[in-house]
Every structure is written in structure tokens, then in C-alpha cells.
């Protein structure tokens, strides 16, 4: 069992969730049950799956939940690209947020590599 609250990647997942919540407040209200819902769920899934994996008994299970968190990060990145395509967010906001997501993806991958070693 690992203490997820000490992991830099979990803390980054919390931060991206906060950013996405704020960003979603600026999206059109008609997207409440569409893109907004999907983006929030994807963002929350990142730190949630990291935490769940840390609560499991084996590194193999942690690796599995890190894979889910990684998948959620790619979902979120795709949803941000879609938001940009519909002109809901600026190119600058997309790039800024994507940079944070890419950093999270690298951290998750690095943690997975350390577990596989």
C-alpha cells in the first residue's frame, strides 16, 4: 500500500481537476450534460484512480489503476481539443492545459516503469 497523498502525480491530478472545474464554468450551459460532464469525469478520474491503486495490495493492481488514470488523461486531452474546435476555449488555454496533462502523463508512465522494474 502506498500513501497517495504524498505522490506528486496525485497532487498534479488534483490541480488539473481544479483547473478543469474552473474552465468548465466558462463553457456554454447547453454543454452541461455533454462535454462539461465528460471533462469533469475524466479530470476527476485521474487522481481518483491513482488513489484507488495506492489502496490496493499489490504493485500489479496499482499499475492497472495507473493505466486507467493515464487513459483518463488522454480522454481529457481529447475533450479539450474538441472544446477548442468548437471555439469554447482558446488555443492558449488548450496549450496551457495540455502541457499540464502531458506532465501528468509522463509522471504516471514513470511511476509505472518503476513498478515494472
pLDDT in tens, 41-83: 999 999 999 999 999 989 999 999 999 999 999 999 999 999 9
pLDDT value at 117 more than 80: no
Sorted by where each starts, the structural domains of the chain and their CATH numbers stand as: 4-116 (1.20.1440.60)
d(CA 116, CA 23): 35
Q: Which string of b and e fits 91-111 if b means at least 16 CB within 10 Å? A: eebbeebeeebeebbebbeeb
pLDDT attached to residue 2 = 78
The pLDDT score that the predictor gives to residue 99 is 97
The predicted structure's pLDDT at residue 1:
65
Angle at 89 between CA 83 and CA 91, to 5 degrees: 105
Identify the CA nearest to 13 among candidates 59, 53, 56. 53
How many secondary structure helices (H) and strands (E) does the chain include? 4, 0
Amino acid at each position: 500500500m502506498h500513501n497517495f497523498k504524498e505522490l506528486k502525480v496525485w497532487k498534479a491530478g488534483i490541480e488539473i481537476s481544479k483547473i478543469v472545474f474552473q474552465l468548465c464554468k466558462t463553457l456554454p450551459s447547453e454543454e452541461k450534460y455533454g462535454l462539461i460532464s465528460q471533462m469533469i469525469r475524466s479530470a476527476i478520474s485521474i487522481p481518483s484512480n491513482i488513489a484507488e491503486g495506492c489502496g490496493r495490495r499489490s504493485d500489479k493492481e496499482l499499475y492497472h489503476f495507473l493505466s486507467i488514470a493515464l487513459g483518463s488523461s488522454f480522454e481529457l486531452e481529447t475533450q479539450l481539443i474538441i472544446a477548442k474546435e468548437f471555439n469554447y476555449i482558446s488555443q492558449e488555454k488548450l496549450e496551457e492545459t495540455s502541457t499540464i496533462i502531458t506532465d501528468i502523463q509522463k509522471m504516471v508512465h514513470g511511476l509505472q516503469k518503476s513498478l515494472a522494474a
